[in-house]
């Protein structure tokens, strides 16, 4: 089979790594890819949002399956364009990608279909939003409705902060059209879990859960990022809890989308708050998490390619996937300054020596290669060092030992990935 993966981050490297290992994969392409992906796939110099060029590349090469990684092209309708040109594609249609493209749509879907989510109201008028926020207990969350590169969510400790966050979106238009409406939402405390399912329009085939680390620095301090590290499994999700997540969140979401005339196909990612009353949906994403995808592929025993095909073909009800029981840990190495401004172009050494390590893969996120093959930093999140171990401690040790062998003074990572699971896994109670 000829496969095209769209995207160029750590998630897409992980997808390419897993797909390249499939005996069904004869040719693998990635657009635009990165220096690490280039070792698994032929990289095409096409941006992930260049819909017309991607359709031409896929049809010219008679691609059998396209796999779209990032949210922006999904929300822009890349899957519709590829399928319209006859290319089988893993990922949701533009209508179904609204689940991530509009937080208001997602929250209203939950409210209408009885899917647990924190209380909320949607506003387009700043004064109405401020009046509602002022009537609510603190802290309170203000969210820009659309895609805002991870910057549209503010957890407000005071009503003044809530007013400023509302003004930033609705009055100052800091997020452009993504802030034309806002959600003002009850703030839940506790631990977050990332839950995933492959979906074929009808069936949610649940994958293992993971936990991410959004703040940039140790101890969950500093600005929020796309994710600085992840691990799977998480002690917060035992088998009964996984069944609860499937029965109360994932499968009902799939059924709700079908009932709304927007059948969902692809990867459904529910960001959940684990509360004493059960899991609640904080947000949906319509693609694999990054770096959660890296830990999932390390634990995947089955061939990924038939699983993605089964989602496209509507046969997940008779499909099963097998997973290694071991723990996978992924630690992101980012450019100093990320998620603010940072340097590009610095050389990164020590990567070749790590290729021979067992149960360890350095997935590239923002990298590019010189003509001689040497690797340079080319983004905010640059590498995701991912290890498998019999325990979380063992996997962490393997990942951090590898990181200490990477020569890149311009990079930084969190040194405490997995700390919550190692400290004391609990679901917070009221007292």
Least gap, CB of 287 to ligand GLY (angstroms):
8
Q: Which residues pair with 200 in a beta bridge?
A: 265
Least gap, CB of 184 to ligand GLY (angstroms):
22
**Closer CB to ligand GLY, residue 29 or residue 69?**
69
Query: Applying CB under 6 A, which of residues 22, 285, 327, 378 lies at the interface with ligand GLY?
Result: 285
Q: Does 384 help bind ligand GLY (rule: CB under 6 A)?
A: no
Running DSSP on this structure, what letter comes out for residue 188? P
Rg of the Cα atoms in the chain? 21
Q: Does 226 help bind ligand GLY (rule: CB under 6 A)?
A: yes
Query: Applying CB under 6 A, which of residues 290, 303, 326, 416 lies at the interface with ligand GLY?
Result: 290
Least gap, CB of 314 to ligand GLY (angstroms):
26
The Cα–Cα gap between 330 and 407 comes to 18
Least gap, CB of 194 to ligand GLY (angstroms):
7
The Cα–Cα gap between 205 and 11 comes to 20
The stretch near ligand GLY (CB under 6 A) out of 200-208, 260-268, 289-297, 392-400 is 289-297
Q: What is the maximum alpha-carbon separation in the chain? A: 62
**Closer CB to ligand GLY, residue 22 or residue 327?**
327
- Please count the other Cβ atoms lying within 10 Å of the Cβ belonging to residue 78: 26
Query: Applying CB under 6 A, which of residues 8, 146, 179, 289 lies at the interface with ligand GLY?
Result: 289
Backbone angles phi, psi at 299, to 5 degrees: -95, -5
DSSP string, 235-248: TT--HHHHHHHIII
Q: Is the dihedral of CA 224, 282, 288, 86 positive or negative?
A: negative
- 350 dihedral zone (left: phi>0; alpha: psi -120 to 50; beta): left
Q: Which residues lie below 8 Å from residue 216, measured CB to CB, with a gap of 6+? A: 222, 223, 224, 225, 228, 334, 338, 339, 414
- Distances in Å between the Cα of 382 and the Cα atoms of 176, 219, 249, 343, 368 are 27, 21, 33, 11, 10
Least gap, CB of 227 to ligand GLY (angstroms):
3
Query: Quick check: 69 and 78 in contact, CB under 8 A?
Result: no
**Closer CB to ligand GLY, residue 289 or residue 366?**
289
The Cα–Cα gap between 71 and 75 comes to 6
**Closer CB to ligand GLY, residue 78 or residue 309?**
78
**Closer CB to ligand GLY, residue 10 or residue 310?**
10
Least gap, CB of 86 to ligand GLY (angstroms):
30
The Cα–Cα gap between 133 and 130 comes to 5
Binding footprint of ligand GLY, residue count (CB under 6 A): 7
The stretch near ligand GLY (CB under 6 A) out of 52-60, 285-293, 317-325, 338-346 is 285-293
Q: Does 279 help bind ligand GLY (rule: CB under 6 A)?
A: no
Q: Hey, which residues between 188 and 217 contact ligand GLY (CB under 6 A)?
A: 212
Least gap, CB of 136 to ligand GLY (angstroms):
26
Least gap, CB of 285 to ligand GLY (angstroms):
5
- Residues forming the site for ligand GLY (CB under 6 A): 212, 226-227, 285, 289-290, 292
């Amino acid at each position: 089979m000829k496969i095209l993966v769209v995207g160029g981050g750590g998630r897409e490297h992980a997808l390419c790594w897993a797909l390249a290992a499939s005996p069904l994969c004869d040719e693998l392409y990635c657009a635009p890819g990165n220096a690490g992906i280039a070792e698994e796939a032929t990289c095409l110099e096409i941006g992930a949002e260049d819909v017309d060029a991607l359709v031409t590349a896929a049809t010219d090469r008679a691609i059998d399956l396209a796999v779209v990684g990032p949210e922006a092209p999904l929300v822009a309708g890349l899957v519709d364009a590829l399928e319209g040109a006859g290319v089988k594609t893993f990922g949701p249609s533009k209508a179904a990608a609204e689940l991530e493209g509009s937080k208001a749509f997602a929250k209203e879907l939950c409210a209408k279909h009885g899917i647990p989510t924190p209380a909320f109201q949607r506003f387009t008028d700043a004064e109405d939003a401020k009046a509602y926020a002022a009537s609510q207990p603190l802290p309170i969350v203000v969210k820009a409705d659309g895609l805002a590169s991870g910057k549209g969510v503010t957890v407000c400790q005071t009503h003044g902060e809530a007013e400023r966050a509302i003004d930033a979106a609705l009055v100052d238009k800091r997020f452009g059209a993504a802030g034309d409406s806002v959600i003002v939402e009850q703030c839940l405390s506790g631990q977050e879990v990332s839950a995933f399912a492959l979906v074929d329009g009808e069936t949610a085939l649940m994958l293992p859960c993971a936990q991410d680390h959004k703040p940039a620095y140790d101890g969950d301090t500093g600005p929020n990022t796309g994710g600085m590290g992840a691990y799977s499994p998480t002690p917060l999700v035992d088998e009964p809890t996984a069944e609860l997540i499937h029965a109360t969140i994932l499968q009902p979401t799939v059924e709700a989308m079908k009932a709304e005339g927007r059948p969902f196909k692809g990867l459904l990612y529910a960001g959940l708050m684990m509360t004493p009353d059960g899991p609640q949906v904080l947000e949906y994403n319509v693609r694999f998490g990054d770096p959660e995808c890296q830990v999932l592929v390390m634990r995947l025993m089955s061939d990924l390619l038939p699983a993605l095909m089964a989602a496209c073909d509507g046969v997940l009800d008779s499909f099963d996937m097998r997973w290694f029981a071991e723990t996978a840990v992924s630690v992101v190495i980012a450019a100093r300054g990320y998620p603010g401004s940072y340097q590009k172009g610095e050389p990164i050494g020590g990567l070749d020596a790590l290729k021979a390590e067992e149960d360890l893969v350095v997935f590239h996120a923002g990298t590019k290669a010189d003509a001689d093959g040497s690797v340079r930093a080319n983004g905010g999140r640059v590498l995701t060092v991912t290890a498998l171990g019999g325990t979380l401690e063992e996997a962490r040790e393997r990942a951090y030992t590898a990181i200490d062998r990477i020569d890149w003074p311009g990079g930084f990572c969190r040194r405490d990935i997995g700390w919550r699971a190692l400290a004391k896994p609990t679901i917070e109670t009221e007292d």
